Structure 1
Amino acid sequence: MATYLVLLACLCVGIQIFSGFADKLFLSIDCGGTANHTDRWGIDWVVDDGYIKTGEAAQVQNHGVYDSEINSLRYFSSQKKSCYVIPGVATGRKHMVRASFFYGNYDRKSSSPSFGLQFDGNHWVDVVTSSSQSYYREVIYAPKRNKISICVARTSPDQIPFISTLEIRELETGMYQTNGEEDVLLWTNRTAFGAKNFVRSFDFMVDGIKRNDDPIIPPYGTYVTDYNHGRDLTAGSKVSLVNTRDASLPPILNAMELFQLKTGLADGTSENDAPRSDLMIEIRSKTQYRSRIGRFQCRERAEIHGLGIRPPIRSLSQISNLHTMLCYGGRSRAMLVD
């Protein structure tokens, strides 16, 4: 059979920002949620019971507009200020905190509230919510203590504060560094210069020859697999990923595997290779077990139907499931297979 070398390139996506920060705080809280869950981007969301003891949970009326974690919320009708407390924070390290709000007419009053938002006792922003649009804000700073507190505060007697989600990410050293240790970055706008859309599109090249029929565009949250069709590889073969003209993002490659390909399959194992494989063997008499180094010993005889022999065999009392026993002549040796 002919043997070829085939290259398999696995293009696995599903990468979200900050997801590679091992052993760093990466927390997503579904405020007012009823159960932990994983969203379509692979982010794990937890309910908020462990981070706050006040307020009441509710579901928005305008379902289907956003993902499930935005459709739940926690509102605070009796407290002037209510705070989430996040423990286990690395002091002096930059953290990104994102708070999201979607009124969604949860109280059926069609009156979206406004209120204040604070972090660690500092004023953050005045929140203005909407029945049809979500609202979020981000802050980046280095906490002074080993915990982060995020509070919503009532600014008008008839306005009830609420919150939909809370996300905390500890950042890598060097990210968003400023001159002062107490500097705070309040997110205002985010713009991608030089690109109307984010496009990742590229070709899979082997020795300068394109091996894919259409441009490879990895879908977010899943994977794409492509491979070298029928071309021999040598030790000097060059594999490359080349952007298409309309690409604004660079190629990505998560894994590459090399296989040896053999052609042709047999029709299966011949029945002559395993004669009497369906023989049922019954052991009629129990055997006794006596421990010896690497040996079993039998004091009784067993009858093996279908073979017509009755030699003494070694004990099987310590073996829970006997599938096959073969006894053969001489001094009555036995081969046991469990």
Structure 2
Amino acid sequence: MHLVLASINCGETDTLVDTNGIIWTPDTNLISNGVARVVQSSNQITPIVDTLRVFTSRRKNCYSVPVTKGEKVLVRVLFNYGNYDRLSNPPTFDIHFDGNYWTTVQTALTGLTMHEVTYVTKGDAVSVCLAQTKSGQFPIISTLEVRGLDSEIYSDLEDSRALFLMSRFSYGASGTLRYPSDPYDRIWLARTAGTETATSDAIVIDSTGPNAVPSGVLRNAATVGSTTDRLLVATISPISFPVYMNMYFSEVSNLDSTETRSFKAYETNSSGTSPFSPTISPPYGSLLESTIYDYSVDSMTNISLVADADSDYPPLVNAIEAFYISGVLTEGTDSNDVEALGLLQTTFDVLGEWKGDPCLPAGYSWDWLNCSNDAIPRVTSLHLDSFGLSGSLPDISSMDALEIIDFHNNSFTGTIPSSLGTMPNLKELNLGNNKLSGSVPSSLSKNNKLKLIITGNPLCTASSKACSNSPATINSSPDNTAVASKKKSNMLPVVLGVTIPAFFLMWIAAGNGAYGGQTNAKFDGFQTTTTSGEHVDVTVNNEGNQTFGSPSPLLDENYNHNNSDDATH
């Protein structure tokens, strides 16, 4: 399989190769909307993240990357505002993937913000969309990455759900590790935890395991000074969404037959302290994985590693990954509608600029259509008036939920397709001010439930068979309540849904690192402890709640670089 599917450098015009050997291509062939910009020189980090694309128009703007249907992918997006507009006003906006609400992005005045999601694709493309949610705050994007994963990786995950990365740490490491050390280009950040760092004396470490972790993350470990000390690895607050956590262990010393290192994971909360894992004895020169899946708590809970009573050595941990598990992902807009919209887009080039799911998430449909609120939405109206469309009208009769079709004020030629008269829910058809000729199909002219507008076309009337301008409206009975042909509002949508806690890990960057830059990082969500190192902290910032209107949950993920060992909370 192809592991690196796409590395898109947004706003750039040339192909670049970074210090990790990753080839970055410009986004000019993927999107036609938006404007390329460059961050201010004082905020520049590396050419890969010093350019961006900003979107000042449309409800949402989407990138689409071809993939194989059913493939497990890791999708990562990076944002570097860098005060490109000299307004010192970093924007807040939403991002979506494949019709699912992903998160609300809060960019920083300086530095980088990253979000990552892993899931199994349901179609032949990955779409990532940026949606404006606040007046005057325009979405930006610096990079888009799509990586292929083997199906065995994170195999606990159901195909109908997604993983939103909270953190991926390599304890005691000297710097960030990613591709080519990790062929899947997962970014492992160097961190400390506990009170001590240990380095393996094994010449070779076999990292074979379900999640294919790179051997480099097993070279070092976090530990504590005594078997009586606890090694804190995570703090989890009571939240609506379950947690998925992988811990990776490898013994750092070749213990003799009389020596042991054994410990268990314990949870401590308002109910007390209790073990919730079997005994862990890290193997020397190889890997042991311990997984916590679909884990949720009712009160603030600490996860710690505690040595067994007969253990000669204290607990250790080499690496950890933590995710939120999403709700069930959407199946997307009805396939018949998607296929017919695809026909419209291939027939009329101007429509090809719209990508992503046509109807989802709710409130973010394409600008020129409306959709139903069904679990699998249907397109209920098309508003393509004054789009400069020309040529023959294609057959879109498979869009049988359509109630309004507004094609007026274009340059369509040829005859009116009789297939339009077979659409069972059609209430209004506006073909006025085009160049259509021939006669009106009887399936339309005799439909007393249809408001048909054909003025401004050289059509032949049914009575005289002579071509002339037809009346503005035919077959509109007084008893017929026509659906108003009202163009969609350009006002920003109000996204309705449940309110969930916001999680933000703001990784403020400057210099050389994972993308060729160096950072000083500030974390919210995974706390940095000053006395005993760093541990995963799944805590809630109750001051900022997010709302969403799709089946997918919210998770904010942020970005860091090489040599960013220092962090403050």
AA partner of residue 248 (structure 1): N
Match of 1:154 in 2: 132
Q: CA deviation at 1:63?
A: 4.7
User: Is 1:102 matched up with 2:80?
Assistant: yes
User: What whole-Å deviation, never above 9, does each CA across 1:14-44 have from its counterpart, x for those lacking one?
Assistant: xxxxxxxx53452100000120011111000
User: Is 1:76 matched up with 2:55?
Assistant: yes
Q: 1:95 to 1:247 in 2, by over 3 A?
A: closer
Percent of pairs identical after alignment? 35
Please tell me whether the aligned partners of residues 199 and 247 of structure 1 are also in contact (alpha carbons under 8 angstroms).
Answer: no
Match of 2:232 in 1: none
Aligned runs of 1:215-294 on 2, under 5 Å?
241=203, 248=220
Measure the CA separation in 1 of the matches of 2:155 and 2:32.
34
User: Is 1:183 matched up with 2:155?
Assistant: no
User: Is 1:127 matched up with 2:116?
Assistant: no
Matching residue within 166, 172, 183 for 1:196: 172
Please tell me whether the aligned partners of residues 86 and 147 of structure 1 are also in contact (alpha carbons under 8 angstroms).
Answer: yes
Unmatched segments (≥5 aa) in structure 2: 182-201, 206-217, 222-249, 251-569
AA partner of residue 29 (structure 1): I
User: What whole-Å deviation, never above 9, does each CA across 1:72-121 have from its counterpart, x for those lacking one?
Assistant: 0000012221000112x111121000000010000111111100010011
Matching residue within 30, 35, 39 for 2:9: 30
State the SS of the aligned residue for 1:150.
strand
Unmatched segments (≥5 aa) in structure 1: 1-21, 201-219, 221-239, 251-338
Q: 1:121 to 1:64 in 2, by over 3 A?
A: same
Match of 2:64 in 1: 85
Q: CA deviation at 1:198?
A: 4.0
Match of 2:522 in 1: none
Please tell me whether the aligned partners of residues 139 and 186 of structure 1 are also in contact (alpha carbons under 8 angstroms).
Answer: yes
Match of 1:169 in 2: 147
Q: CA deviation at 1:65?
A: 4.1
State the SS of the aligned residue for 1:70.
coil
Matching residue within 67, 92, 95 for 1:114: 92
Measure the CA separation in 2 of the matches of 1:72 and 1:34.
10
Aligned runs of 1:2-21 on 2, under 5 Å?
none
The runs of 4+ residues in structure 1 deviating greater than 6 Å are none
Taking only aligned residues, the RMSD between alpha carbons, in angstroms, comes to 2.8
Q: Which gives a bigger RCO, structure 1 or 2 (Cα 8 Å, sep 6+)?
A: 1
Match of 2:22 in 1: 43
**Number of aligned pairs?**
188
State the SS of the aligned residue for 1:189.
strand
AA partner of residue 186 (structure 1): F
Q: CA deviation at 1:178?
A: 2.8
Measure the CA separation in 2 of the matches of 1:93 and 1:26.
11
AA partner of residue 52 (structure 1): I
Q: CA deviation at 1:150?
A: 0.3
TM-score using structure 2 length: 0.31
Q: 1:179 to 1:40 in 2, by over 3 A?
A: closer
User: What whole-Å deviation, never above 9, does each CA across 1:267-290 have from its counterpart, x for those lacking one?
Assistant: xxxxxxxxxxxxxxxxxxxxxxxx
Measure the CA separation in 2 of the matches of 1:56 and 1:93.
32
AA partner of residue 133 (structure 2): T
Q: 1:27 to 1:129 in 2, by over 3 A?
A: same
Q: 1:90 to 1:247 in 2, by over 3 A?
A: closer
Match of 1:60 in 2: 39
Please tell me whether the aligned partners of residues 63 and 71 of structure 1 are also in contact (alpha carbons under 8 angstroms).
Answer: no
Q: 1:173 to 1:157 in 2, by over 3 A?
A: same
